[in-house]
Amino acid sequence: MKQFALAGNPNCGKTTLFNLLTGSTAYVGNWPGVTVDKKVGTYKKGAEPVQIVDLPGIYSLSPYTPEEVISRNFILEEKPACVINIVDATNLERNLYLTTQLMEIDVPLIIALNMMDAVEKSGDVIDAKLLEEKIGLPVVKISALKGTGIKELMDRAISISQKPREGVTVLRDSAIAHLVQDVNIALRAQNVEAPLFHAVKLSEMDEIETQMHPELVKMVDEFKSTFKDDTFGNDLEAVVADARYKYISANYSTAYTHKGAKGEKLTKSDKADKVLTHRIWGIPIFIVILFAIFHLTFSEDFLYISAIAGGLPSLEELGMDTENAGVMLLACFYDGAVFSPGVILTNLLNWLLEWINVLAEMACANAPAWVGSFVIDGILGGVFAVLGFIPQILTLFLFFSILEDTGYMARIAFILDRIFRKFGLSGRAFMPMVMGFGCSLPAMINTRTLADDKERTSTVRVIPFFSCGAKLPILTAVAGAIVAYFGVGNADVITMCMYLLGICTAIVTVILMRSTTMRGEVPPFIMELPAYHAPRFQSLMVHLWDKTKHYVKKAFTIILASTIVIWFLSSFNWSWQFLINEDGDNLRMNESILGSIGMLIQPLFTPLGFGSQLGVEFGWVFAVAAITGLVAKENVIATFGSLAAVIVGSLIATEDGVSEVTAMIQGTGIGIPGLISFIAFNMLTIPCFAACATARAELPKGKFKWTLLFWLATSYVVSMAIYLIGSWWWTCFIFIAAAAAAVALIVLWNKKHPMKKETVSATVGLDEAALDEAAVTREEKK
Amino acid sequence: MQKLLEEFVPGEKGVIVAVAGEGRVRRRLFDMGVTPGAEVIMRKKAPLGDPIEITLRGYELTLRKTEAACVTMEVKKK
């Protein structure tokens, strides 16, 4: 099958065209640079089926960003039968800049003038015939949104893919035409493929090319020593970029006739922007929008109706039978307060899952006890724990997709960049971080919008510190128990403080990483701000479906496997006896394999206040709870529930988990510092399996194991500090001294080893990435 | 009159004369169309004073002041 590649600027409608051609459900967003990995689909409506590859959106073929290197290597090495260059017709000049680079490669090339509907609507005219003549390549007017011109585009693309095309350059009249010509001849003599492209890039002293053809660098250097341009001196990279734009303005821009005075009149988008990025109102509006999103997703008191009314009666208080199926369904929407849409969806799903659970229990009624437990606690319990998150994750995602699709997300980065630069990040890092308060999974996936690899790695690593929805029950249960048992403080204040602790830890560790292992310049913030437009229903749904698929797939693979392992370890003892009694309660968890592992690792937590000092009898439960928390953080309190049973003698399960924790306090004699340290540890340590799987997929190769270590180390150090300072206040001097020493060491080290030039290190890293990429595509071909 | 893009106030117009800086930042500026001869309108500053938003070659671009300091402009009178 022939392979066609789609190349173009970010946000030029490339992914929309891809979806139209392939009928696939690739995600479309209104944020420059959404497509990071390339997507593949098939076009079946032509004379022959064609494979379509959607390359990442790029502005240039420079060696500086991973997207550009991926696209460049794909076209050069995989040699698609044709490259379809999508050009945003409303922004002709900048889009054609990439075209002038693509046309230098020896590959059939066709230009799709997209967004013609928007151009015609504004009354402007583009002479496609004239443009085609000037460029010397086929030009087809299309509108991916309206679906016009697609047939003609594909027919012409298929016809030009029959015969090879030799590259041409717009630099033939420029000052360095001679150099390009000479290098071209030298490369041709070596039988290099696409010699013209390599010749131009070599003339620019492109990092990738100079490594590939070191023997020709001398030629360029010699030329440089004699060359002197009036404006640029002998900076050939600048000469080339300038020549391209000059050529475009002189030759191609004439094809575009503007009707009105461009840039003078205020469009709807400009008016919206005036309000949304207002000097004074910009930030308050942003905070309100953010708050509204979280309220709609997570609030159990929609619009604060119940709080305003001074408390509404619960269904039980209204005299309804809460065991009745209809009332249970009603309770998904209202129970003492109207729930927000996100909570309603969660309740409905859990209601449904509850029924599946009941059916499963009935089906397993006659099977041996361990089979029933395996199905219900091992398989269903684990999968439901993950599926149960879906409604809220999706609701949160829906809102963030709307922000992204309308173009507001790019403005948030614009508004907040100033603050984030202080931590060595750019404004784009904000969104993934704040999404972390909802759930780490979508947050980690969202880091794809970060251009810089080091920035992205640092961000993925600190996302779990923004305490997610599933960690909240741990906070409220432990805080509640502290207040109930010790009679000190206020549960809400403790919870708030823990959230703050997470944020502070994130800030400190980001600064730490950016000055040690993730050292690098603050990434440049030179970003296109796309025009606002109304969100498109179809693209939102496509986006959501994509995310759901991704997530469900994970729930049934890695997460299922790990929950089964934990179930096995906690339900059996070393002599393979099944420990769970007929009622399904695990009252003998202390004898289980997991229990003995807990006892074994218990001493490790001694410096954290929940280790050996709590005694061997029950002290290990905190260690075990931390392990089960890896499956899903809800398990921490659930584990307390079944372990508290060992202490109290019967199972306790309360909605808020306070009595479970209180029982644990009674059983182990743990103090307040130890409890706070325990919350902090669970909040900052390795997140749930689902988040780990996502982090692994999103991080660059080889970074995941260090990330696990980073999470462990951070949580360990912070919890130890809390416990020790909480128990013996004077130990704070030790921590302050240690911190000061660490800072001094880092500063001294960084002074001694000044940063290498960013471009060099970036290119070396990219080279590896490029090689990996090539290997992957080759395997796919096989 | 010449001055740096960084010093522009919202509404001011000009033509790019030279682009300084090095490596990645400079190349990125070129690739985004910030090359000598291009016409620029300064649109606004972000609420915290930085970064800035400009209109260039018919689209909106945002960049930080440190990056705008690399760009020398010839101011156009209104």
Spatial strand order in the sheet of A109-114: A39-43, A50-54, A2-8, A82-88, A109-114, A139-141
pLDDT for residue A719 is more than 80: yes
Query: How close, in Å, is residue B54 to chain A by CA atoms?
Result: 10
Tokens describing residue A23: 């009928």
Task: Kindly report the nearest CA distance between residue B75 and chain A, in angstroms.
Answer: 17
Confidence of residue A777 (pLDDT cuts 50, 70, 90): very low
Q: What is the mean pLDDT of chain A?
A: 83
- From the list B63, B16, B31, B58, the residue with the least C-alpha distance to A93 is B58
For the segment A622-678, what is each residue's pLDDT rounded down to a tens digit? 888 888 887 778 778 777 776 766 666 555 556 667 888 888 888 888 889 999 999
- For the cut 90, the answer to whether the pLDDT of residue A710 exceeds it is yes
Which residues from chain A sit within 8 angstroms of residue B41, using beta carbons?
263
Residue A105: which of A55, A32, A41, A153 has the closest Cα?
Answer: A55
Which of B36, B58, B60 has the CB atom closest to A529's CB atom? B60
* Residues of chain B neighbouring A757 (CB-CB closer than 8 A): 23
Neighboring chain B residues of A417 at a CB cutoff of 8 Å? 46, 50-51, 64
Contact B27 A97 (CB under 8 A): no
CATH of the domain at B55: 2.30.30.90
Residue-by-residue DSSP string for A662-707: HHHHHHH---HHHHHHHHHHHHHSS--HHHHHHHHHHSPTT-HHHH
Residue of A nearest to B29 (CA): A526
Element (H, E) at A175: none
Half-sphere exposure of A299 (CA within 13 A, CB side): 16
Confidence at A261, pLDDT banded by 50, 70, 90: low
Considering only A487-491, A663-667, A751-755, A770-774, which range has the smallest mean pLDDT?
A770-774
Q: What is the pLDDT of residues A334-344, one digit of tens each?
A: 988 888 888 89
- Cβ neighbours for B63, distance < 8 A, ≥ 6 positions apart: A524, A525, A526, A527, B29, B51, B52, B54
**Rounded to an integer, what distance in angstroms lies between the CA atom of residue A203 and that of residue A592?**
69
Which residue range is the domain that position B70 belongs to?
A: 2-76
Residue the block writes with tokens 């600027």: A9
Residue % of chain A over a pLDDT of 90: 26
What is the mean pLDDT of the segment spanning A719-746?
A: 92
| Residue among A414, A425, A532, A755 with most chain B CBs within 10 A, to mutate | A414
pLDDT the model gives residue A132:
93
The count of CB pairs under 8 A between chains A and B is 125
Structure tokens at A17: 């065209």
Which pLDDT score, from 0 to 100, does residue A761 have? 34
Whether omega for the bond prior to residue B10 falls within 30 degrees of 0, making it cis, is no
Name the token pair of A301.
């008191």
pLDDT at A762: 36
- Give dist(CA A62, CA A80) in Å, integer: 20
Å from A524 to nearest chain B CA?
Answer: 6
Q: How confident is the model at residue A85 (pLDDT cuts 50, 70, 90)?
A: very high
pLDDT attached to residue A30: 56
**Which pLDDT score is estimated for A460?**
93
CA nearest A461: which of A386, A516, A534, A393?
A: A516
Average pLDDT over residues B25-53: 91
Using a CB-CB cut-off of 8 Å, the residues of chain B touching A278 are 47
A623-655 burial string, b = 16+ CB within 10 Å, else e? bbbbbbbbbbbbbbbbbbbbbbbbbbeebbeee
- Mean pLDDT score, A276-281: 90
- What confidence tier does A682 reach under pLDDT thresholds 50, 70, 90? very high
| pTM recorded for the entire structure | 0.81
Of B33, B61, B62, which has the smallest distance from its Cβ to A97's Cβ? B33
Q: What's the pLDDT score for residue A740?
A: 93
Residue of A nearest to B60 (CA): A529
- The DSSP letter of residue A375 is I
Residue appearing with tokens 């439901």: A384
Residue type, A232: F
User: How many domains, chain B?
Assistant: 1
Q: What is the pLDDT of residue A774?
A: 42
Average pLDDT over residues B45-54: 92
Instruction: Answer whether A10 touches B (CB < 8 Å).
Output: no
DSSP secondary structure, A433-491, as one string: HHHTTT-HHHHHHHGGG---HHHHHHHHHHGGGS--TTTHHHHHHHHHHHHHHH--S-H
Kindly list the distances between the CA atom of residue A707 and the CA atoms of A34, A301, A693, A711, in Å, as whole numbers in the listed order: 24, 37, 12, 6
A684-691 mean pLDDT:
88
What are the distances in angstroms from CA B27 to CA A228, A236, A776? Answer: 20, 11, 29
Contact check, Cβ <8 Å, A759/B25: no
User: Do B46 and A277 count as a contact with CB atoms less than 8 A apart?
Assistant: yes
Given a contact cutoff of 8 angstroms between Cβ atoms, the answer to whether A157 and A82 are in contact is yes
Q: A17-49: b or e for each residue (b if 16 or more CB lie within 10 Å)?
A: bbbbbbebbbbbbbbbbbbbebbebebeeeeee
Residue of chain B nearest A527, judged by CA positions: B62
How many whole angstroms separate alpha carbon A448 and alpha carbon A699? 10
Lowest mean pLDDT among A534-538, A721-725, A763-767: A763-767
Question: Residue A595 and residue A597: Cα distance in Å, rounded?
Answer: 5
Q: Within an 8 Å CB–CB cutoff, is residue B53 touching chain A?
A: yes
Percent of chain A with pLDDT over 70: 89
Is A370 a residue whose pLDDT tops 50? Answer: yes
CA B52 to chain centre: 9
For residue B52, list its beta bridge partners: B45, B63
Query: Is the pLDDT confidence value at A381 over 60?
Result: yes
Nearest CA in chain B to A532: B60
In this prediction, residues A184-208 reach a mean pLDDT of 90
Each residue of A215-253: b (16+ CB within 10 Å) or e?
ebeebbeebbeebebeebeebbbbbbbbbbbbbbbebbb
CB contact under 8 A, A238 and B58: no
Chain B nearest C-alpha distance from A8 (Å): 13
Query: Worst-scoring range by mean pLDDT, A484-493, A605-614, A634-643?
Result: A634-643
CA-based nearest distance B56→chain A, Å: 9
Mean pLDDT across A93-111: 94
- In which band, very low, low, confident or very high, does the pLDDT at A782 lie, cut at 50, 70 and 90? very low
Contact A165, A106 (CB under 8 A): yes
Q: Which whole number is the average pLDDT over A513-539?
A: 84
The predicted pLDDT at position A439 comes to 78
pLDDT of residue A714: 95
Instruction: Read off φ and ψ for residue A4, nearest 5 degrees.
Output: -110, 140
Distance separating alpha carbons of residues A712 and A722, to the nearest angstrom: 15
pLDDT band at B51 (very low <50, low <70, confident <90, very high): very high
Report the range of poorest mean pLDDT among A181-195, A215-229, A271-285: A215-229
Tell whether A229 lies on the interface with B, counting CB pairs under 8 A: no
pLDDT at A517 exceeding the cut of 50: yes
* 3-state SS, residue A526: coil
* pLDDT tens string A292-343: 887 888 787 888 888 888 888 888 888 888 888 888 888 889 988 888 888 8
Q: Can you give the pLDDT at residue A653?
A: 59
Best CATH choice for the domain A1-200+240-265 from the list 3.40.50.1370, 3.40.50.300, 3.40.50.11900, 3.40.630.10: 3.40.50.300
Mean pLDDT over residues A68-88, rounded? Answer: 90
Residue A772 has pLDDT above 70, yes or no: no
- CB distance A594 to A569 below 8 Å: yes
Cα A535 from Cα A533, distance rounded (Å): 6
Residues A351, A329 contacting (CB under 8 angstroms): yes
CA atoms within 13 A on the CB side of A257: 8
Cβ A91–B31 below 8 Å, yes or no?
no
Q: Where are the domains of chain A?
A: 1-200+240-265
Angle formed by the axes of helices A689-698 and A537-554, to 10°? 110
pLDDT of residue A547: 72
Crossing angle (nearest 10°) for helices A560-571 and A593-601: 90
Max avg pLDDT among A177-186, A395-404, A750-759: A177-186
Question: A111 - beta bridge partners?
Answer: A85, A139
Which helix (H) or strand (E) element contains residue A47?
Answer: none
Q: Are A81 and A4 in contact (CB under 8 A)?
A: yes
DSSP character for A379? I
DSSP state of A253: G
Suggest the residue from B6, B26, B30 to mutate for an interface test with chain A (most A CBs closer than 10 A): B30
Helix (H, G, I), strand (E, B) or coil at A64: coil
Hey, which residues does B42 pair with through a beta bridge? B54
Tell me the mean pLDDT in the region B24-50: 91
- Lowest mean pLDDT: which of A33-42, A617-626, A683-692? A33-42
Q: Which pLDDT belongs to residue A765?
A: 35
Which among A102, A87, A79 is positioned nearest to A3, based on CA atoms?
Answer: A79
